[in-house]
Structures are given as structure tokens and as C-alpha cells.
Structure 1
Amino acid sequence: MNNYYSDLHIHIGRTITGKPVKITGAKSLTFTNIIEHARNEKGLNMIGIIDCHSPEVIMEIAQLMETGDVTEHPEGGLQYGDLTIIPGSELEIYDEHCQGPIHVLCYFPNLAIMEEFSIWLSQHLKNITLSSQRIYVSGRNLQSKVKELGGLFIPAHVFTPFKSLYGKGVHRSLEEVFNKDQIDAIELGLSADTAMADQIKELHQYSFLTNSDAHSLKKIAREYHVLHIKGPSFLELSLALKGEDGRRIEANYGLDPLLGKYHQTVCSQCFVPFDPEQNECAHCGSTKYIKGVADRIAELKTADASPANRPPYVHQVPLEFIPGLGPKMLGKLLDHFGTEMAILHEVSFENLSEIIPVKTAELIMKAREGKLNLSAGGGGKYGKISH
């Protein structure tokens, strides 16, 4: 078995004919552009494209299969050269059991099952062509349908203040909304890491995943994970999430939570740090605030440590966050070293400094080692790296 780079939360911005899918996604995020970019520039081995329920996306995949550019993997997934694509769907649940809307990810082994799921969805959505739509069935009913079709069910970015399981979706426990035995993994989101999530005891039974939630090509693999499996396929992914037969999540690579957009509690008017115990913002006097992930997890805390078998979470800064590393300099690095995964993990300081300024090469090495100075983000604004 070997290790493979994987990012399972990538949006489609537009169909091949230019129609919107994820309205906030970049127009360049077509299915074809995503698979080319993920394989050739990012250096990923497996990706999840989570807007594949849209009929025009299904049509584009079918056309790529007719030409032989994309084939079906015998163990599930779609093959584009040495890249495996897991077709999926992001949906919003807001039934009578939810305190607020919750986003979830559903993945399927092949295009035929994805199309069957899309037909079923069209009976329960207002607009089947768009991403992240509200589905008018309960969370448990959706889980049952996904499992009936042999799919995987993963709550998405579970701590973000809006549209997530613990952000506003439930009061205390996931069992308020879901069948705990039909959850395959938990997606952490950009503002939390493993140590934070494991403060909630009921999550100890699940694998954790870090994914990019990419809304543009450059955001692909800003967070990702490494799978220890025989090869990238739907079956091997399923085994890794369960930790069966020697398969496992080897590691998660994600932003230090301080860089996430919702780490600290901030004033909803002026976005400075807000202390809820003070009842009003010390800067502008507003009484309204956006509760940060750190404070929300503190409210829910039921455990002090991670389970013994939890894989490491590596704090890593994406190349686009590195001060001074613009598109032209990144292009130079890609020309010389092939992919972003190679630059982030493998290329030596000496080789980097032959291509880019020594100061920038030093920052990449510090990012690799988790030694950059950070200031916290909140209220929808990313944290920052200070030199």
C-alpha cells in the first residue's frame, strides 16, 4: 500500500455550456478544468467533485466517457489518467429537528448511481441544477437513501457558524438530526483542527477529513488529506474511512485554525474581537456578534484528549498564503518542480532558492515546519501571516 493525496470537496462553478452551478464559484470551475488542474498542477491523486448531481454536469461526464478521456474504475470512482474522481453532491438539510441549516456531502461509486440519485433529488429540491440546495426530506431520510445506493455520507465543515452541524444545526448532539451509525466521516472545515474537534466525545468514533471546499481553481488542495490505501478508488476510500484491512487516513493537512475565517468571535458590525460576556463591542458598541469556532467548541466540550488512534493533523499554509509568492513566481516553481504537492512536501530549500528569492524560500520552509507567525481570523475574514 502507498500514500495518496486527496481533496474531496471541490465545487463546480459553471457547466460546459456556461450555466451556473455553484453561483459563488468561479466561472473557470468546470468539471473538465477541475480534473486537469487537480492532476497537472496540484498533483492530487483523488478528488471529490460535489456538484455532480446537476444534469448538465452528468452530461459532461458522460461525454468525456464516450470519448474515452474518463473511464470507470473497477472499484468505483471515475478515472482521468492517474487521477480518480469521486462524484458527489453537497446538500442543505433544514428539517423540523434542526436548529439551523446543515450542509452535508454525499458520494457515490459511479455515474449511473449518481444519475439515479439526481433523479431522486429532483423530486425533493426546487432547483436540481444548482449546488448546495435545500432538500425537503429529513436528515435521516437522506442518509437512508445514500446508504441504499451504496454511498458515503459526511457532514460538511461541521463547526462553521453558518450552515453546519455544530455551528447552528444542533443544540448539543448530532443524534438530534442524524443516525450516528450512517455517518462515514466528519469534515472539519477551515477554522478547526483535530485537537479542537476531539473535545467533543461523540466524534471520537469517526474519521476526520480536511478538504478545500474550493470555489476557484487556485483554492483546490488548500486543505487535503493523505490516504494509506492500495490505490485511489471509491472502495479503498470507504475502507480507509473505516480504518479496515490496513487502510487508514494517514494525515490531514490544513490551515492552522487561526487562519480560518471563523476561528474567533468578532463583532458583526466592525469585525474586531468580541467578548460575549461584555454584552457589547468595546470598539463600536454593537451588541451583535458572530460566534467563533473556538468559543462554540468550548460550549460543547465533553472530552479532554483525542483517541489513541487519531492520525496527525499537520498545520500547513497553502502557497497562495505565502507573502510575496504571487502567480508569476508560483508559475516558475510549477515549471521547475511539477506540482504544488511536490513544492509543499518534497523540494529542498536549496532547490527552491535557485528559482525564487531566498526570503520566499525560507517562508515556504517555515510553512512546511509550522513556524510562521499568525494572527487569528473571524467573521468571514481569513487570519494573516506576519513575517
Structure 2
Amino acid sequence: MALTPELHSFYCDLHVHIGRTSAGNAVKISGSRDLTFANIAREAAERKGIELIGIIDSHSPGVMQDIRDLLMSGEMTEADGGGVAYRGTTILLGTEIEIREPGRKECHVLAFMPNLAVMEDFSAWMSRHMRNINLSSQRLYAPSRVLQEEICGRGGLLIPAHIFTPHKGLYGCSAERMAELFDLEQIAAVELGLSADSEMAGYISELDRYSFLTNSDAHSLGKIGREYNVLELAAPSFNEFRLALARREGRRVSANFGLNPRLGKYHRSYCAGCGSIIDEAAATSERCPYCGSTKLVQGVFDRILHIADREQPLVPDYRPPYHYQVPLEFIPGLGKAKMNALLAAFGTEMNILHRAGEAELAAVTGPELAAQIVLARSGGLALTSGGGGTYGKVDRTRS
């Protein structure tokens, strides 16, 4: 009789972009130049304390060559159960793909593959339906359900990305129901995005069955881990990740850590006419309450209320807690020098956020900043709302 493996908690961020290959070729045009596969692995393992990280530009031929080189050199190895292992951190090989069905706006999805060989095969298929396979988040000229079949047929996982954002989120701009684009039985999970939380998603009943992910969508090394998850796994690997999303054999997402939606840059509607963020409870969806302009960009919260099929949100019993947490970089007064001192004392950002006590923090930063860090990790800092592509901020006058 096989023994049930012991499960452990792992910190996971499953949406990180590649800026450049090691040869300097662009992958994510808007990504930082130092966002290479190797640098992301080092940042996750050595500074952030992220133990399972999804690099979602692994389809690019230049990136795949970097992975092959790292495996050949022995710096990295193929992980048991799928993925690439580096110093206690496992990298999941993923890709972000843009789709656009006729008569709809475009949206993004994530696809994760078990290993490099499968990703190479999937990339070869995509290259026949994509204008530039080398770049990130490119449009796939194939129907969404064909894409779904190609992903799932290879043993991959399909996860709609930042589903509520007005900029290429499935619900944000492409459809009112996911069933309009995909077979719901072959969706592994959904990614909420920086401007939504579990309760907000609870207004839409078709999401009840899915595990939610909160990821950074990092375009620079510093942004890795600004949102993340805790997963209960036997080990960090693709196979264990699959089990956790399906909530099988005890594996599960046990916590989501994310920005308070008010900090998200698409949380509330925004007027392109006067530049105002419309944060009024009774704001009209047709005209700006400040200037009367009709040039409105609908925010995540307002969009959810518009497409909701419930009057009140439902949070299923299995849904893990969603912890509002302000990233360390948002905390006023926490500059580079003090951050480096904290890392020298506690090792990783996850240790600073989860394991260091207030007195220990104060010994490094002083009591005032230590108190701010404690408030940040418990969601206690006062915030101003984001909107129109601008992040919200910590309100120093009320914190």
C-alpha cells in the first residue's frame, strides 16, 4: 500500500514575463532587459523566496534555447513531476497567448506545459498560427476552442489571465461568460488579476468551480511576488500544480495574497476626457460625473457589477482566504538601503512578510517603518483607488 506523501506549503507566482533572451533579443517589449530566464530563477530562489514560479514566455525559441543551455550546463535540471529545478525553486514553463474571436475584443490566456519537450512541440504548432513566435503575448490566429484542444491534448493547463481587466481580460472586454469562448470542463483555473479579489469574482456563478490564482504579471524583477499564492503540495512540480488546481489528493490553493483591489490600476472607471478616477458609489456608467464626458474606461469593479448574475457575491466553502497585502515596494520610506538591510537580516521577501516579528523588523528598520510593514502584510494601510492604468497608492495622511 502506497504511503500518502506529506504535503507542505509553497509560495507560488505563476505569471512572470521574459524581457530579453540571454543573447539580448527582445521577448516582452515592455519588459525589463534583465528579465532573462536565469535572472528570474535567481530572483525567485534567492531574493523573493518564491518556490514555484511560472515563466509565461517559455514558448519563444530564444528562451527555449536558454533553457536548453542551462540544463546542459547543469545549473538547472528537469524537475521530477515536470518543470525546471533551480536551488529549491521549480520553474513552470508557460506561455501567454492573445486570442480574438470574430466580433469580440482580444483577451489573454496562459498555457502551461509539463516539460520543455512538450513546450517545444506546442511552440512549433503555434508558430503556424502566429506572426512572430519570438515575442510575448502574441495573437494566435486560430479559434479559441481549437487552442484549448491543442493545450489540453498535450497534457497542458489552460488558465485565462487577469480575467477582469479592461485591457485584454476575458470578462473585462471580450465576453460576459467564459462559456462563450471555451469548454468550461477544460479550464484548469482562472487568474483574477491585480484589480479583483475572490469576493468580487463571486458575483459570477460560472466561476464557482475554479481555483483562483493571484499572480504578479511581473514585467521587472522587482515586481515578482507582488501577488502570489500558497499551494499545498508534496513538492513543487507541474504534476503537483495540476492536482492543486483540481483540489485533488489534498493538494490545493490554501491562500491568495494580493493587492487590495483599490490599489489595482484598473479598479474603478476612468474618464479619458478629464483624467478623473470615478470612485463614486453612484457613478453613472454613461457619463463622467465631473466633466460629463462619455469617454469612459470601465473599471474592474464596475464591469463585474454590470455582468454579474448574482445580487450578492458567493464565496464557496472550499475557497481559501484572500489576504490583502501591500507589496513592500509600495511602503513609503522603505528605500533600497533599508530593503537590502532587511534581506541581509531575513534572507528573502517571503521571510520579511511572513516570518519576521515586528520587534525583529524594528531592530533593522526602526519602529515606525516596522509598524508600516506589519500593517502592509495585514492589509491595514489606508489606500487611494487606482484606475485608468494608474496604480492606487498608500495614503500617508491616513496610514
**Percent of paired sites with the same residue:** 50
Structure-2 separation of matches of 1:295 and 1:283: 17
- Letter paired with 2:382: N
Tell me the secondary structure at the aligned position of residue 130 of structure 2. coil
Structure-1 separation of matches of 2:228 and 2:286: 38
In 2, are the aligned partners of 1:5 and 1:225 still within 8 Å (CA)? yes
- Letter paired with 1:73: A
Structure-2 separation of matches of 1:193 and 1:178: 22
Structure-1 separation of matches of 2:238 and 2:256: 19
Tell me the secondary structure at the aligned position of residue 79 of structure 1. strand
Structure-1 separation of matches of 2:371 and 2:330: 14
TM-score in terms of structure 1 length: 0.97
Partner of 2:206: 202
Please list, as runs of the form range in 1=range in 2, the aligned pairs for 1:149-298 lying within 5 A after superposition.
Answer: 149-170=154-175, 172-274=176-278, 277=284, 279-298=286-305
Tell me whether 361-370 or 247-256 shows the greater mean CA deviation. 361-370
In 1, are the aligned partners of 2:286 and 2:296 still within 8 Å (CA)? no
Structure-2 separation of matches of 1:70 and 1:279: 53
Structure 1 gap segments, 5+ residues each: none
Structure-2 separation of matches of 1:247 and 1:280: 47
Structure-2 separation of matches of 1:220 and 1:118: 25
Tell me whether 151-160 or 64-73 shows the greater mean CA deviation. 64-73
Partner of 2:331: 322
In 1, are the aligned partners of 2:19 and 2:35 still within 8 Å (CA)? yes
RMSD: 1.2
Partner of 2:44: 38
Q: How far did 1:254 drift?
A: 0.2
Q: Does 1:76 align with 2:82?
A: yes
Q: How far did 1:278 drift?
A: 7.4
Matched length: 385
Q: How far did 1:229 drift?
A: 1.0
In 2, are the aligned partners of 1:158 and 1:188 still within 8 Å (CA)? yes
Structure-2 separation of matches of 1:136 and 1:322: 42
Q: How far did 1:357 drift?
A: 2.5
Partner of 2:4: none
Structure-1 separation of matches of 2:202 and 2:303: 13
Structure-2 separation of matches of 1:359 and 1:374: 18
CA deviations 1:26-79 (Å, max 9, x no partner) are 001011110001110000110000001110100000000001111111211111
Partner of 2:383: 374
Find the partner of 1:106 among 86, 111, 122: 111
Q: Does 1:384 align with 2:393?
A: yes
Structure-2 separation of matches of 1:265 and 1:85: 36
- Letter paired with 1:327: K
Structure-2 separation of matches of 1:36 and 1:81: 8
Tell me the secondary structure at the aligned position of residue 239 of structure 2. helix
Distance 1:270 1:238, change over 3 A: same
Partner of 2:3: none
Structure-2 separation of matches of 1:293 and 1:301: 12
Structure-2 separation of matches of 1:241 and 1:284: 45
CA deviations 1:114-157 (Å, max 9, x no partner) are 11111111100000100000000111100100011110000000
Q: Does 1:48 align with 2:57?
A: no
Structure-2 separation of matches of 1:293 and 1:327: 32
TM-score in terms of structure 2 length: 0.94
Structure-1 separation of matches of 2:79 and 2:106: 34
Q: How far did 1:369 drift?
A: 1.9
Q: How far did 1:332 drift?
A: 0.9
CA deviations 1:244-289 (Å, max 9, x no partner) are 0011100000000000001111101333134763743344443201
Structure-2 separation of matches of 1:264 and 1:17: 40
- Letter paired with 1:4: F
Find the partner of 1:26 among 10, 32, 39: 32
In 2, are the aligned partners of 1:374 and 1:384 still within 8 Å (CA)? yes
Please list, as runs of the form range in 1=range in 2, the aligned pairs for 1:300-311 lying within 5 A after superposition.
Answer: 300-303=307-310, 304=312, 305-311=314-320
In 2, are the aligned partners of 1:42 and 1:220 still within 8 Å (CA)? yes
Tell me the secondary structure at the aligned position of residue 153 of structure 1. strand
